[in-house]
């Protein structure tokens, strides 16, 4: 189908995909829960749909939640699809090309706590990938003396506070705006923001009371409508394209993929190509799985089989040979195309994030392809050479790899968001290989640099 056809048919606009990022404990999960909760209360029963790894909130529900703030006739997008796994997966959900997943993002910042390491990390990724975002300045209900105004836009609630309360919140909000400006963004409180492209809206919210959530949804719809439309024109009937969120063992199904489909259609029996840790996988979809409705969750069967799914959607794929599939990697339906051509496409996409490795250096491991890319970038910036970079937990063979380093300071493994397998830990101890792990990239870099400095000092 040509571009002209897709622009003429609003049915071809898929749901914008929204990622939620931010520092641990700043309220990402609570905010997602609140959005889901308000949608369930306000919307017709069943109107929101739970996907694997995502929640779809259709436009009519968004507009009910947002009340007078959203006029559904202004929008021709079908709603919003929120990726449910905040935090750790943010790096794979924000890849800039190829595996690009999130169209827009919410950066959650606790107003009491301000910018923290993971906030800064998220900002870097948002910037690198050019992802439009809004800042949810969360936990405004904890400002002493704060008085909620029910069902009012958050600006009105803000205006209704006493001078003392307002100035306390102002201080925190302007600190956030200052941090954003330090990161190269102009920003303002959302009710003063006119242009959401060059100017980031800061929206005071409470994931606890729900204040500001309608405003947040409104701004998200506005962002999606204005800036993301061309990318959301998809060929719904074309071959499906998606990104692996997680590779999971599922009882009765073996290794499965949790995937966000951002283009086209995937059907049971389709031949698919999936990025793997060693080799590109070509396999056939055995089953497409959706979570069962909440009421049935206690029953044995946790998933429903479906014949096909259209973008945008979160789904689980069961297929043979998925053991080496990589979180963050692309998934493509082959369709009428030549399978070799699709394999090449997937490999080209993986090559885009291939990490430059040197003959001598440390070993790095990360949980997803996106986070590996972010970690590799940080290593490059810090001028720490990398000998091997892979997605996955730290295993004995990584230790073996680290022992091949000539320089003792490189007998080191840096792991981001990964587990250290028991036998790897023992082997590392036996072989004098150091392991650093953290869920903050810059912590890893700092820890390593500190170790190198101390070591050099000791040698003098």
Distance (Å, whole) CA 25 – CA 163:
28
**Residue 228 φ/ψ, nearest 5 degrees:** -105, 0
198 makes contact with ligand GDP (CB under 6 A): no
Told to check if 280 binds ligand GDP by CB under 6 A, we report: no
Quote the least distance from Cβ 324 to ligand GDP, whole Å.
30
Q: Which of 141, 215, 263, 398 binds ligand GDP (CB under 6 A)?
A: 141
Q: Which of 12, 30, 152, 302 binds ligand GDP (CB under 6 A)?
A: 30
89 binds ligand GDP (CB under 6 A): no
Q: Are 216 and 153 in contact (CB under 8 A)?
A: no
Given the complex with ligand GDP, which of 29 and 403 has the nearer CB atom? Answer: 29
What six digits make up the tokens of 229? 């439309």
Sheet of strand 271-274: strand arrangement: 281-284, 271-274, 330-333, 241-250, 254-263, 313-318, 287-291, 303-306
Q: State the Cα–Cα distance between residues 327 and 370, nearest whole angstrom.
A: 8
Chain positions 202 to 261 lying near ligand GDP, rule: CB under 6 A, are 206-208
Selected from 14, 21, 28, 420, the binder of ligand GDP by CB under 6 A is: 28
Q: Considering just the CA atoms, what is the radius of gyration of the chain in Å?
A: 23
25 binds ligand GDP (CB under 6 A): yes
Look up residue 114 and give its DSSP letter. Answer: -
Pick from 6, 16, 21, 26: which binds ligand GDP (CB under 6 A)? Answer: 26
Does 27 count as an annotated binding residue? yes
Interface with ligand GDP includes 27 (CB under 6 A)? Answer: yes
Residue 29, interface with ligand GDP (CB under 6 A)? yes
Alpha carbons 399 and 413: distance in angstroms, whole number: 7
Point out which span in 26-34, 223-231, 305-313, 418-426 binds ligand GDP (CB under 6 A).
26-34
- To the question of whether residue 129 is assigned a binding role by annotation, the answer is no
Nearest to 311 by CA among 329, 332, 328, 325: 332
- Could you tell me which of 129, 92, 122, 124 has the C-alpha nearest to residue 106? 122
Instruction: Please choose, out of 138-146, 238-246, 303-311, 366-374, the segment that lies near ligand GDP by the rule CB under 6 A.
Output: 138-146
- Of 59-67, 135-143, 274-282, 343-351, which segment contacts ligand GDP by CB under 6 A? 135-143
> Is 141 among the annotated ligand-binding positions?
yes
User: H or E segment at 150?
Assistant: none
Q: Interface with ligand GDP includes 50 (CB under 6 A)?
A: no
Q: Counting beta carbons within 10 angstroms of the beta carbon of residue 265, is it exposed (0 to 12), middle (13 to 18) or buried (19 or more)?
A: buried
Q: Which CB sits closer to ligand GDP, 30 or 310?
A: 30
In the complex with ligand GDP, the residue whose CB is nearer, 14 or 139, is: 139
CA distance 194 to 190: 8
Residue with Cβ nearer ligand GDP (74 or 151): 151
Q: Is 139 marked as binding a ligand?
A: yes
**CA 310, CA 235: separation in Å to the nearest integer?**
10
Could you tell me if 407 and 292 are in contact, meaning their C-beta atoms sit under 8 angstroms apart? Answer: no
By CB under 6 A, is residue 86 in contact with ligand GDP? Answer: yes
Residues 6 or more apart whose CB falls under 8 angstroms from that of 103 comprise: 16, 17, 18, 131, 132, 224, 228, 231, 232
> Which of residues 142 and 181 has its CB atom nearest to ligand GDP in the complex?
142
Q: Per CB under 6 A, does 116 bind ligand GDP?
A: no
**Could you tell me which residues are annotated as the binding site?**
22-29, 84-88, 138-141
Q: Which residues bind ligand GDP (CB under 6 A)?
A: 22, 24-30, 86, 138-139, 141-142, 206-208
**Could you tell me which residues are annotated as the binding site for GTP?**
22-29, 84-88, 138-141
């Amino acid at each position: 189908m040509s571009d002209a056809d897709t622009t003429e048919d609003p049915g071809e606009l898929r749901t914008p995909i929204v990622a939620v990022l931010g520092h641990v404990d700043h309220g990402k999960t609570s905010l997602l829960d609140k959005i889901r909760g308000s949608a369930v209360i306000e919307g017709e029963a069943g109107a929101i749909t739970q996907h694997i790894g995502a929640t779809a909130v259709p436009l009519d529900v968004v507009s009910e939640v947002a009340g007078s703030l959203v006029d559904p006739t202004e929008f021709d997008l079908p709603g919003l699809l929120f990726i449910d796994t905040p935090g750790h997966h943010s790096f794979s959900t924000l890849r800039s090309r190829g595996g690009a997943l999130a169209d827009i993002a919410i950066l959650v910042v606790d107003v009491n706590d301000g910018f923290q390491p993971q906030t800064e990390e998220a900002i870097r990724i948002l910037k690198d990938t050019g992802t439009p975002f809004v800042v949810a300045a969360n936990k405004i209900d904890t400002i002493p003396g704060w008085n909620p105004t029910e069902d009012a836009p958050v600006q009105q609630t803000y205006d209704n506070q006493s001078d003392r309360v307002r100035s306390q919140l102002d201080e925190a909000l302007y600190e956030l705006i200052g941090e954003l400006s330090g990161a190269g963004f102009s920003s303002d409180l959302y009710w003063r923001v006119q242009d959401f492209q060059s100017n980031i809206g800061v929206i005071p919210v409470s994931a606890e009371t729900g204040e500001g959530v309608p405003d947040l949804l409104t701004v998200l719809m506005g962002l999606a409508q204005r800036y993301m439309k061309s990318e959301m024109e998809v060929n719904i009937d074309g071959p499906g394209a998606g990104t692996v969120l997680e590779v999971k063992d599922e009882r009765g199904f073996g290794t499965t993929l949790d995937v966000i489909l951002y283009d086209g259609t995937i059907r049971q029996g389709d031949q698919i190509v999936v990025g793997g840790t060693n080799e590109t996988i070509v396999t056939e979809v055995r089953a497409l799985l959706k979570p069962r409705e909440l009421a049935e969750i206690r029953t044995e069967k946790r998933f429903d089989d479906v014949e096909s799914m259209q973008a945008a959607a979160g789904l689980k794929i069961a297929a043979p040979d998925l053991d080496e599939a990589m979180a963050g990697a692309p998934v493509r339906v082959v369709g009428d195309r030549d399978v070799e051509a699709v394999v090449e496409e997937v490999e080209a996409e993986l090559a885009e994030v291939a990490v430059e490795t040197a003959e001598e250096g440390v070993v790095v491991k990360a949980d997803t392809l996106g986070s590996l890319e972010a970690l590799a970038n940080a290593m490059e910036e810090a001028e720490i050479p990398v000998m091997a970079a892979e997605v996955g937990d730290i295993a004995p063979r990584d230790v073996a790899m680290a022992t091949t380093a000539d320089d003792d300071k490189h007998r080191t493994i840096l792991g981001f968001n990964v587990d250290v397998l028991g036998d790897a830990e023992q082997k590392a101890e036996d072989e004098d290989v150091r392991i650093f792990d953290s869920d903050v990239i810059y912590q890893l870099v700092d820890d390593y640099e500190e170790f190198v400095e101390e070591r050099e000092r000791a040698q003098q």
